[in-house]
Structures are given as C-alpha cells and as structure tokens.
Amino acid sequence: MAQILIVDDEVGIRELLSEILADEGHAVELADSAGAARRARERQRPDLVLLDIWMPDTDGITLLKEWAAGGQLTMPVVVMSGHGTIETAVEATRIGALDYLEKPIALQRLLETVKRALRISGSDGQVPFSIASIGKAPVLVEARKRLAQLAQSAAPLLLRGDPGARGEPFARLLAAPGTPFLAAEDVLASPSSDALAKAAGGVLFVADLASLSRSERKNLEFILARAERYRLRLVSCCQVDPRALVTGFEFERDLVERLAEVTFRLPALRQYADDVPDLAGVLLSRMVQTGVCPMRRLSEDAKDALRQHSWPGDLGELEAVLNDLAFSALEEEIRAEDVARALSGREAALPPPDLRFDRPFREARESFERLYFEHLLERENGSMSRVAERAGLERTHLYRKLKALGLQIGRREEE
C-alpha cells in the first residue's frame, strides 16, 4: 500500500481519483490548494503526488519549483492539467516531475503511470536530483537554455566536465516528458533487445566513459548501432579530453568520434559559487527528508564557508563534504568550523581526483601523468620552458607527451 497525495482544486477530480486509487489498495490524502499541499508535505513524505497545474492560490509549476529548491522534491510527482501544452509538460519534467497526465485522465493511463511512479519511489526512496530549478548564475541559466535546445536532437551527446563533475543532473534535462532515463550501468552488462526496449524513446546515460571496461566499451558500440531503431538518445560524460580516451584508455577512435558527435561543456562548480549555499542546502535537505541522515541544517557562516571554497573536485567534492558534515557534525546546526574541518580532512586524506588504484597499470600511469603535467602547467602559468625544466624533459618530447595526454599546450615562450 502506498501513500498518495492528490492536489487539485476541483472536488470532482479529487473524489474520482481518490476512489480509483483507494480501490487499488492505496492510502489517499487530499489537498484542494497549494497551501494544503505544502502542509501535507511538511507532515510526511508521500510515496507519490498527483499535482494539478492550474490552482487558484499557487499554480502547480510554482509549487514544484518550491519543493525542488527546498530539497523536498524527494518523491515522484505527476502533474495534471486539462489546459496544458507540451511546453508546460516539458517545463514540469525539467523541474523534476516524473510524468504528465492530460485531463480527462484515461483510467488505464492513470493506473500505468501510478504503477511506474511507485516503482521509482520504492526503489531507494529518492527522486533523482536535477539542476533544472536550482541556481541563478548566468552560467547555469545559459546551460539550461543550451541543453533545452540540444534536447531537440537525437544525436549522441558528450558532456565534458572537470574531475569530480556530475553529468547526470544536467543530462536529465534532455529527457522528454514521460520517457525513460536509464543509467548505462543497468544496460551495459547485458545490452539485450529487452533491455534496450525498456529504454526506447528515452535517454541512456553513461556517467564516466573513462571508467568503462573493455567489454563495456564493446557493448556500447552494440548499443550505438541500434540506437536509431529504439529511438534511444545516448548521452555520456567524460572528465578527460576525448582524445585521451584513445591515447590513454584504449578506446577505438571511431567510437569516440561517434559518442562526441555533439559536445557540451559542463559549467564547473566554481563558476557558480554564489549558488553553492542553495545547492548545498537542497542536497542536505534531501538527505534528511529521505532518512539518510539525522536532522541537519547549515548556519549562515557555514554557507559562507562553502561559498568561498574553490571546489577543485566539483559537485563530487561538494557531495562528499556534505556527506561528511551530515554524519560528523556534533550539533543539528552545521557551523563554519565543521565545514573547515571537513574540507581540511579531505585535503589531507584523499588522493588527487581521478587517481584510482583499481585500474590496469597503463591506465593508472596515464592518469598520474595527466595530473602531474596539469599541476606543472598551472604552477608555471603555462610556461613551456619552465615546465620542461621542472619535468626534466626536452621541449619537443614535452609537446608530444602533452598532446598524447590531450592537454592544452601553454605558452611556448617566456613573456
């Protein structure tokens, strides 16, 4: 039995949906306005919300944005409307709604949608995080606009990011309303026709190309060859230069070229530093809402400390720091000194980004070399003469090495 919240200002709709879902064995709570829905959400997290778009006090899209921005969008939400457009449905799903039902709602469509939503709710209790409604920085506003435009294409898309970048919150903006969004790890192990059929018409997301095994790369080629047949959009994320996938990770050049048919550079977290407090608040609230950690909240000085950090590990580092704070802070309110402790602990204990020891020797060596030369290039401000001197390499050899690693060559001469 699931707990379902129905939010609609029309009493006839509320009663009809309540009767149908109660007959299916679900516990139903009713709300006739956005205000009533807010109070219901504060009392408990429902397993599913059916949310009307057009209401007299606050429309459903605005309420959806409030829940997303406040970290309360931790349950599947299906929006409903008798006067909506496809643009409304797209906006709702970009914010985080699972699906869209058009009134009058067909019984079979209602039951199928509810069943699918409850499968998601029961999997891990967590609705996937999206960047759709969080962040006001110009770089994020532009990213959302460009991804909305890229969503019109079916071509494979490569998301480029810094070490620690998380492509999934951005990739979810590419999924059309009511279409599947599948993590590639669920398919790459055994890309059967049945598995591809489940993803048909949707997005298949590869979180980190560089981490794929040889067999997974072969299966990725298999999927690419059948993507058009299943109307499947392949979106992948990479934290290294695509050329380095060929030179350092033994990818076939043709596969990389096909995956990178269209590319999009993910904004780095440091580029929207002013949004970090809001983003951190949402991520922490989601952890609390889903019972992952005890009650926690960020003080103003803690938010300021998070804002001022440079975040070299991008969203991955932010997630790790918040996880640390959620379990190690001694008080309900997280203070600036807690943030300082968590950040200093990571600097002392963690290996450099992307330096993993579960790789074959060649891949591990390539990772180390890339980090080593990135460090020298940054330290010497791109001066090739000084980098060559510090590395003990002849400059011609240095140029070849940087090119093979996919690193941008700095200034050739001293200023």
Please tell me which residue, 160 or 84, carries the higher pLDDT value.
160
Mean pLDDT rounded to a whole number for the chain: 86
Residue at 355 is within a domain: no
Tell me, yes or no, whether 208 and 260 share the same domain: yes
Q: Which residues of 274-300 are buried (b: 16+ CB within 10 A; e: fewer)?
A: ebbbbbbbbbbbbbbbbeeeeebebee
* Separation of CA 289 from chain center: 18
Residue at 190 is within a domain: yes
pLDDT at 286: 84
Report pLDDT digits (tens) over 16-39: 999 999 999 999 999 999 999 999
* Domains of the chain: total: 4
Please tell me which residue, 127 or 75, carries the higher pLDDT value.
75
Where among 323, 349, 375 does a domain terminate? 349
- pLDDT for residue 129 is more than 50: yes
Mean pLDDT of 355-368: 68
- pLDDT for residue 7 is more than 90: yes
Residue at 411 is within a domain: no
User: Rounded distance, CA 176 to CA 115, Å?
Assistant: 19
Asked whether the beta carbons of 118 and 91 are under 8 A apart, the reply is no
Residue ranges of the alpha helices (H) in 175-275? 185-188, 193-198, 214-226, 242-249, 253-259
Mean pLDDT of 391-413: 73
> Which segments within 42-156 are labelled E, that is strand?
48-52, 77-81, 99-102
pLDDT at 194: 85
What single DSSP character describes residue 405?
H
Confidence class for position 120, pLDDT limits 50, 70, 90: low
Q: Using CB atoms within 10 Å of the CB of residue 44, give its burial: 0 to 12 exposed, 13 to 18 middle, 19+ buried.
A: exposed
pLDDT at 192: 85
Tell me, yes or no, whether 7 and 48 share the same domain: yes
Neighbours of 125 (CB within 10 A): 15
Neighbours of 233 (CB within 10 A): 25
Vertex 250 angle, CA 248 and 253, to 5°:
105
User: Rounded distance, CA 285 to CA 196, Å?
Assistant: 34
pLDDT at 141: 92
Where among 245, 265, 285 does a domain terminate? 265
Tell me, yes or no, whether 24 and 93 share the same domain: yes
pLDDT at 191: 86
Range name among 84-98, 155-169, 338-352 with the lowest pLDDT average: 338-352
Report pLDDT digits (tens) over 38-47: 999 988 889 9
Mean pLDDT of 213-236: 92
Tell me, yes or no, whether 279 and 260 share the same domain: no
- pLDDT for residue 414 is more than 60: no
* CATH code, domain with 80: 3.40.50.2300
Tell me, yes or no, whether 25 and 116 share the same domain: yes
Tell me, yes or no, whether 236 and 281 share the same domain: no
For residues 19, 51, 153, 140, the Cα torsion angle rounded to the nearest 10 degrees is -160
Mean pLDDT of 384-389: 80
Residue at 415 is within a domain: no
Residue at 133 is within a domain: no
318: domain range?
272-349
Tell me, yes or no, whether 153 and 259 share the same domain: yes
Confidence class for position 350, pLDDT limits 50, 70, 90: very low
SS in 3 state form for 44-69?
CCCCEEEEECCCCCCCHHHHHHHHHH
The rounded percent of the chain whose pLDDT value lies above 90 is: 49
pLDDT at 285: 87
Tell me, yes or no, whether 209 and 95 share the same domain: no
- pLDDT for residue 354 is more than 80: no
Report pLDDT digits (tens) over 241-260: 888 888 878 899 999 999 99
> Which segments within 224-302 are labelled E, that is strand?
233-238, 262-265, 297-298
pLDDT at 359: 63
Please tell me which residue, 380 or 13, carries the higher pLDDT value.
13
Tell me, yes or no, whether 190 and 250 share the same domain: yes
Give the highest mean pLDDT range of 88-97, 173-182, 316-325.
316-325
Say which residues have a Cβ less than 8 Å from residue 194's Cβ, sequence separation at least 6: none
pLDDT at 273: 93
pLDDT at 248: 79
User: Rounded distance, CA 6 to CA 50, Å?
Assistant: 5
Where among 349, 370, 389 does a domain terminate? 349
- pLDDT for residue 186 is more than 80: no
Mean pLDDT of 318-342: 94
- pLDDT for residue 118 is more than 80: yes
Range name among 63-72, 95-104, 204-213, 385-394 with the lowest pLDDT average: 385-394
* CATH code, domain with 317: 1.10.8.60
- pLDDT for residue 149 is more than 80: yes
Tell me, yes or no, whether 152 and 221 share the same domain: yes
* CATH code, domain with 235: 3.40.50.300
Q: Using CB atoms within 10 Å of the CB of residue 321, give its burial: 0 to 12 exposed, 13 to 18 middle, 19+ buried.
A: buried
Mean pLDDT of 68-82: 86
Residue at 332 is within a domain: yes
Residue at 367 is within a domain: yes
- pLDDT for residue 154 is more than 50: yes
- pLDDT for residue 411 is more than 60: no
Tell me, yes or no, whether 329 and 399 share the same domain: no
Mean pLDDT of 219-233: 92
- pLDDT for residue 5 is more than 90: yes
Residue at 49 is within a domain: yes
Beta-bridged to residue 100, according to DSSP, are 79
Please tell me which residue, 366 or 202, carries the higher pLDDT value.
202
Tell me, yes or no, whether 157 and 260 share the same domain: yes
For β-strands 99-102 and 3-7, DSSP reports them as unpaired
